[in-house]
Chains A and B, each alone.
Chain A
């Protein structure tokens, strides 16, 4: 039986750009170019490797977001995913992590899955909780923050490196997996992959296709609210000295004055 793998990807503002908030305190997506979240490239890579190791498997990439977000799915298709799904709906603007997990769960159920693979966090919101929320929503095991992952015999196994211990984990499929940037370098799309991606099916869905009530998502449906956002005041220029042989002692003097020594 075919192994159905869904990889969730996110289109995020480029972190090297000057990111801002819009007037409604959501991320201003027009100010900076977007791209596939770097941490999601590892998820696509692991999804493809799991598929390649299986006898019969198919990888579907899914994303939620405005028109541009299609770029994230397109990149996954170029890397080797077979199909894409893009959930786009004006009502999604300003959705928080709880709402995102709802829409993602509905989309994954719509596609049909044995395994969902995600990155450890997005590089914009950086909360890192959507994989766990998705598992809670879908009622399947979460096997998250893996630096190594493999799937065989209807089971997923992997290694989770925590602060104080490294854990070997095991769960039966279906399951939600998230992978870290230690899981293995992501491949670059080949020329053939880039050309071939244009012919792959990319389905666009809206909330009504997924049976999601718009009142439960978006800025109004969020269970948290941003009250204000303040640009960090520029640091007052620090003291910079050139080492003329006394740089270490000068720095020690500064640290002592600040009571660190």
Chain B
């Protein structure tokens, strides 16, 4: 059966959820072969095998951590040459997209980014994208070379399927460009303990209506009661109330959770671009005319400082 390469995104050996989702997508197209770069493959291989990866191609070299992007492209290129896959799937992170694009160019292949779904088709994998602030969905194919596709988080469920997860060493020869951009230092982001924004099943966001950095505790309390990530609109971020890393929207992060809760967010196009593909949308806003209400499955017109704490208490009570 045809093999499909899946690029593994991990943090010190901990495989991130979007990679496990990619293994689900890959099984629709063929047999998943995971490509793991860096240290810690032993533990990761078990997780990858438990989600359907028959083979795990692994390479470890200091170049992966010490230089930006290109060493990973060299390794994926080696993996493509070793396996001859029908497709290469890469998580749609900022880095993943850069790796995928450079790989595609080298292979003489087309690249599709930010797919929200991928299915097998007569012409090869068919990728669905959500474009123009989610006003349209398109379906596209790669018409030249091996299909290289980056896939957004939450595009598919994580499904445990036992496969061998057999680790094989991948030989990588680094090219001249690999050491072009040096990573002088790396500082881990301090974890809030909450789910990562782009991966979360539920996102609770605050906007202009939150009216102050200290008031974001109201949003955080609701998020914590639901086990959700916290997002913020550009207005709230520009005002300095919440970090840019939590910004949802065109110039921030694009999220597609099962549930999106917008609090004090009017719903400007730039914000809608980043959350419109959420499965269920609810909103709390004082202004009954706010455009966010055009998107919602359930909306409450009211003061978020009354509604949100009441909701939080109710969620806690129901969860016991």
A interface, CB within 8 angstroms of B: 15-16, 18-21, 25, 38-39, 96-98, 101, 123-124, 126-129, 131-133, 135-137, 139-145, 157, 160-172, 175, 180-182, 222-232, 235, 238-243, 245-252, 254-256, 258, 260-261
Contacts A162-B95, A165-B186 given; indicate if A181 touches B102 (C-beta within 8 A).
no
Instruction: Please report the number of residue pairs spanning A and B whose Cβ atoms sit closer than 8 angstroms.
Output: 264
Q: Is the CB of B181 within 8 A of A169?
A: yes
Q: Is the CB of A243 within 8 A of B111?
A: no
B interface, CB within 8 angstroms of A: 11, 68-70, 73, 93-95, 97-98, 100-102, 104-106, 108-114, 126, 131-145, 176-177, 180-189, 196, 198, 202, 226, 244-245, 250-251, 258-259, 269-270, 273, 276, 280-282, 284, 288, 293-303, 306-315, 318-319
Helix, strand, loop or mixed for chain A's interface? mixed
Pick from A129, A169, A246: contact of B111, CB below 8 A. A129
Instruction: Give complex CA distance A133, B105 in Å.
Output: 7
Q: Is the CB of B138 within 8 A of A15?
A: no
Closest chain B CB from A238 CB (angstroms)? 4
Chain A residue contacts of B312, Cβ below 8 A: 248
Chain A residue contacts of B104, Cβ below 8 A: 98, 223
Which residue of chain B lies nearest to A102 when distances are taken between CB atoms in the complex? B105
The residue among A101, A128, A163 with the most chain B CB atoms within 10 A of its own CB is A163
Pick from B198, B226, B314: contact of A163, CB below 8 A. B198
> Given known contacts A133-B105, A239-B297, A252-B311, what 4 new A-B pairs fall within 8 Å (CB)?
A97-B113, A142-B70, A238-B293, A243-B307
Instruction: Give complex CA distance A209, B57 in Å.
Output: 45
Closest chain A CB from B223 CB (angstroms)? 13
Q: Is the CB of A21 within 8 A of B136?
A: yes
The residue among A128, A238, A239 with the most chain B CB atoms within 10 A of its own CB is A238
Instruction: Give complex CA distance A58, B55 in Å.
Output: 52
Chain B residue contacts of A136, Cβ below 8 A: 73, 101-102, 105-106, 177
Instruction: Give complex CA distance A98, B281 in Å.
Output: 36
Supply 14 A–B pairs (Cβ within 8 Å), ascending by A.
A128-B94, A142-B180, A144-B68, A163-B94, A165-B188, A168-B185, A171-B180, A172-B180, A240-B293, A241-B300, A242-B288, A245-B306, A251-B307, A254-B298
Q: Is the CB of B98 within 8 A of A132?
A: yes
Q: Is the CB of B184 within 8 A of A170?
A: yes
Chain A residue contacts of B132, Cβ below 8 A: 19-20, 124
Instruction: Give complex CA distance A223, B112 in Å.
Output: 10
Which residue of chain B lies nearest to A156 when distances are taken between CB atoms in the complex? B181
The 4 closest A-B pairs by CB, nearest first: A243-B302, A248-B310, A223-B110, A141-B180
Pick from A101, A140, A227, A260: contact of B202, CB below 8 A. A260
Q: Is the CB of B98 within 8 A of A166?
A: no
Instruction: Give complex CA distance A133, B113 in Å.
Output: 13
Q: Is the CB of A226 within 8 A of B297?
A: no
Q: Is the CB of A223 within 8 A of B142?
A: yes
Chain A residue contacts of B180, Cβ below 8 A: 140-142, 171-172, 175
Chain B residue contacts of A182, Cβ below 8 A: 244
Closest chain B CB from A102 CB (angstroms)? 9
Which residue of chain A lies nearest to B317 when distances are taken between CB atoms in the complex? A252
Q: Is the CB of B226 within 8 A of A261?
A: yes
Instruction: Give complex CA distance A121, B295 in Å.
Output: 26
Closest chain A CB from B296 CB (angstroms)? 4
Closest chain A CB from B118 CB (angstroms)? 13
Instruction: Give complex CA distance A172, B186 in Å.
Output: 19
Q: Is the CB of A101 within 8 A of B105?
A: yes
Instruction: Give complex CA distance A55, B176 in Å.
Output: 31
Pick from A18, A238, A252: contact of B318, CB below 8 A. A252
Q: Is the CB of B314 within 8 A of A252?
A: yes
Which residue of chain A lies nearest to B258 when distances are taken between CB atoms in the complex? A260
Q: Is the CB of B301 within 8 A of A241?
A: yes
Which residue of chain A lies nearest to B243 when distances are taken between CB atoms in the complex? A161
Instruction: Give complex CA distance A30, B215 in Å.
Output: 44
Q: Is the CB of A15 within 8 A of B273?
A: yes
Q: Is the CB of B142 within 8 A of A230?
A: no
Chain B residue contacts of A141, Cβ below 8 A: 68, 177, 180-181
Pick from B68, B109, B114, B310: contact of A223, CB below 8 A. B109
Q: Is the CB of A127 within 8 A of B301?
A: no
Q: Is the CB of B188 within 8 A of A126?
A: no
Chain A residue contacts of B73, Cβ below 8 A: 136
Closest chain B CB from A41 CB (angstroms)? 11
Closest chain B CB from A146 CB (angstroms)? 11
Pick from B100, B181, B258: contact of A170, CB below 8 A. B181
Chain A residue contacts of B106, Cβ below 8 A: 136
Q: Is the CB of A98 within 8 A of B136?
A: no
Chain A residue contacts of B196, Cβ below 8 A: 163
Q: Is the CB of A123 within 8 A of B250?
A: yes
Instruction: Give complex CA distance A201, B36 in Å.
Output: 50
Chain A residue contacts of B299, Cβ below 8 A: 238-241
Chain A residue contacts of B68, Cβ below 8 A: 141-144, 160, 167, 169
Which residue of chain A lies nearest to B312 when distances are taken between CB atoms in the complex? A248
Instruction: Give complex CA distance A245, B303 in Å.
Output: 10
Contacts A144-B98, A169-B68 given; indicate if A249 touches B314 (C-beta within 8 A).
yes
